[in-house]
Amino acid sequence: MKVSELQTKTKPELQELLSASRARLLELNFKVASGAERHVREIRTAKKLIAQVLTCLNQK
- pLDDT of 51 reads 95
pLDDT digits (tens, 9 = 90+) for 36-53: 878 889 999 999 999 999
Q: Taking the domain 3-59, which CATH number applies?
A: 1.10.287
Written as one letter, the residue type at 30 is F
- pLDDT of 27 reads 94
Report the chain's mean pLDDT, rounded to a whole number.
91
**DSSP codes, 5-58:** HHHHS-HHHHHHHHHHHHHHHHHHHHHHHHTS---THHHHHHHHHHHHHHHHHH
Question: Structural domain boundaries of the chain?
Answer: 3-59
